[in-house]
Amino acid sequence: MKSKLMFYYRKIHRYFGVIIGIQLLFWTLGGIFFTWSNLDQIHGDMNRNPEKLISDLEHWQNPSDIFAEISKSNSVDSIISFQTINFLDEPFYQLRFFNNGQQKTSLIKAKTGIIRLPLSEEEAVQLANAVFTPKSEIEKIDYLVEGMVNKHHEYRNQPLPAYAIRFAHNSKTTVYVSTEYGQVLKLRNSNWRIFDFLWMVHTMDYQSRDHIGNTLLRIFSVLGLITILTGFVLYFKTSKWIFRKQK
């Protein structure tokens, strides 16, 4: 009976060991990359110029007047955020709000109160060039809208429309400029893409890449525990048998 039980222990340990071993290899590779990587390089901070401070603070429109003007053409359910940004050396109010359940963003000139249109391609390029360093040639420009960005896209879960401006730089950086926010929201480079892939494999979230509590990861965690426990059982049982034989 004991030998039959040991046979099953060995079989469980062997097959689970192969399955878990492959995932364990990915976990280890991911862990090595995560711990040895510079997060500033992954986020692209090394290729990002410091944001310019707004120096001209005179003759700005009153925010309450801005809200009143926005409310004339939009049904403002609630305000998400209200801040000032430096857009190409000019101060702007950036107002994010809900309009009939839909999130909207308006850019308003701080001095005149004029609501401006979303960024053009030329303005997006200007902004990307102002943010990215060192100065590099532009390799490609894409205009991203709803339906073009899936759950695996490097610009996932970010506001659209946006311009994806790829620079001819050895970091293979793409700068993502939101047309409504008037800001560079993300820099994606080769290091980030490797990190993102390894994080997907590490968390075993092959749908959205960002959900750490998914069912597959939980299953493999339990299988890993079973593999370890059967390994301990085999070790102690085998050790006892060897010890008795030597006696």
Verify that 20 and 31 share a domain, yes or no: yes
Structure confidence at residue 217 (pLDDT): 87
| pLDDT one-digit tens code per residue, 190-244 | 999 999 999 999 999 988 888 888 888 888 888 888 777 777 777 776 665 555 5
**What angle is formed at CA 62 by the lines to CA 61 and CA 66, rounded to 5 degrees?**
85
d(CA 61, CA 64): 9
Of 180, 135, 140, give the one whose Cα is nearest residue 160. Answer: 180
Among 83, 116, 149, the domain boundary falls at: 116
44 within some domain: no
177 within some domain: yes
Verify that 70 and 27 share a domain, yes or no: no
Structure confidence at residue 211 (pLDDT): 82
Among 116, 134, 157, the domain boundary falls at: 116
Verify that 154 and 130 share a domain, yes or no: yes
Verify that 61 and 90 share a domain, yes or no: yes
147 within some domain: yes
Helix (H, G, I), strand (E, B) or coil at 72: helix
46 within some domain: no
Verify that 125 and 176 share a domain, yes or no: yes
Structural domains in the chain (count): 3
Among 168, 188, 208, the domain boundary falls at: 188
Of 177, 158, 175, 153, give the one whose Cα is nearest residue 103. Answer: 158
Q: Which two tokens stand for residue 127?
A: 């902004």
Verify that 97 and 143 share a domain, yes or no: no
Verify that 105 and 142 share a domain, yes or no: no
d(CA 74, CA 31): 48
Verify that 9 and 56 share a domain, yes or no: no
- The ranges of the chain with pLDDT < 70 are 1-13, 237-247
Of 225, 198, 195, 199, give the one whose Cα is nearest residue 211. Answer: 199
Structure confidence at residue 6 (pLDDT): 61
- Map tokens 């620079």 to a residue: 167
Whole-structure pTM value: 0.84
Structure confidence at residue 223 (pLDDT): 80
Element (H, E) at 84: strand 76-87
- Domain containing residue 169: 117-188
222 within some domain: yes
CATH number (domain holding residue 73):
3.10.450.40
Q: What is the DSSP string of 189-230?
A: -HHHHHHHHHHHHHHT-TTTS--TT-HHHHHHHHHHHHHHHH
Of 60, 27, 90, give the one whose Cα is nearest residue 224. Answer: 27
d(CA 229, CA 236): 11
Structure confidence at residue 7 (pLDDT): 63
Is it true that the peptide bond before 134 is cis, omega within 30 degrees of 0?
yes
Q: What is the torsion angle, in degrees rounded to the nearest 10, for the CA atoms of residue 238, residue 244, residue 245 and residue 247? A: 150
| pLDDT one-digit tens code per residue, 44-58 | 999 999 988 887 778
45 within some domain: no
28 within some domain: yes
Structure confidence at residue 67 (pLDDT): 86
107 within some domain: yes
Verify that 139 and 157 share a domain, yes or no: yes
Structure confidence at residue 2 (pLDDT): 54
Verify that 112 and 87 share a domain, yes or no: yes
